[in-house]
Amino acid sequence: MARGLGKGIGALFPTETLETLETVQNDDAIEKIALQKLVVNPFQPRKTFDDEKIEELAQSIKEHGIIQPIVVRKKGKKYEIVVGERRYRAAKLANLEEIPAIIREMTEEQMMEVAILENLQREDLTPIEEAEAYQSLIEKLNFTQEELAKRLGKSRPYITNHMRLLQLPEDVRELVNNGTLTMGHGRTLLGLKNKRRIPEVAAKVVKHALNVRQLEALIKQLNEEVPRETEKPVKKDIFVQATETQLREYFGTNVQIKKAKNKGKIEIEFYSEDDLERILEILQVEQE
């Protein structure tokens, strides 16, 4: 099912949607382009493709041909694929020599955004692939997170929460990427104070099939551990623990409630300037 993406495509193609981008217009010429002249979209956010689905598509192409042309843009003597990489891969698997294509003129900015929007709408990216795509847009096109959120019709916390996953160690990112760990697991692991222990704790999550709630409890326990020579922490009552859990989910980061005799405090952790801005936005605190 396609997911709504606000004004993303509309901002790039005022008279077109992602669907009409591939629709043949009156002035379009469909050309046969040799597969060897095609190169994949350099801004393609998807790193892995389902081999079984590509094989199924290849079989369909062998029987019925390619019904819908791919969309490309000319780059030197080659053609970069804008939309249709799965069809291109399946065509290669079906041993075709050429493929029907519509040639469009596009800037790199348009190429990058269309690649992300196409994948978000038609085939879910993993949270890591999505985060890497957002980071690529920010770095290469000099977007701020706020500008990117508006461009893609997302909330800023949504963008930030995804991008925070890139702070995970590479081996743990791969566990999220292949579905062994969920995005919720990844975000919770970032609440661990001793970041060097993240891979170790992630391995424990996988080994014992811990859900996010169980991982939250484990992280809380690990964060409260102190050397034996120091005073043992006072066990928090059930109400305080439940409130901490609610606040962690609300802010998307580690939150601790510390109570003293006649006073107390709430500590909200952040891991970067962007993360701090995200939290301030949630708190509706305006910055000067």
Active site residues: 85
Alpha carbon distance 53, 60 (integer Å): 11
Pairing between β-strand 98-103 and β-strand 264-268 as defined by DSSP bridges: unpaired
Name residue 266's beta-bridge partners. Answer: 257
Alpha carbon distance 137, 143 (integer Å): 7
* Host H or E run for residue 80: strand 78-83
Token pair of 72 as six digits: 């490309």
Residues 6+ apart with CB under 8 A from 131: 162, 163, 164, 165, 166
Residue pair 43/108 in contact by the 8 Å Cβ criterion? yes
Collapse the DSSP code of 101 into the 3-class scheme (helix H, G, I; strand E, B; otherwise coil) and give the result: strand
Spell out a b/e string for 9-31, using b for 16 or more CB atoms within 10 Å of the CB, else e.
beebbeeeebeebbeeeeeeeee
Collapse the DSSP code of 274 into the 3-class scheme (helix H, G, I; strand E, B; otherwise coil) and give the result: helix
Name the H helices within 18-155: 18-22, 51-64, 85-93, 108-122, 127-141, 145-152
Q: How many residues does the chain have?
A: 288
Burial (0-12, 13-18, 19+ Cβ within 10 Å), 257: middle
Spell out a b/e string for 98-119, using b for 16 or more CB atoms within 10 Å of the CB, else e.
ebbbbbbebeeebbbbbbbbbb
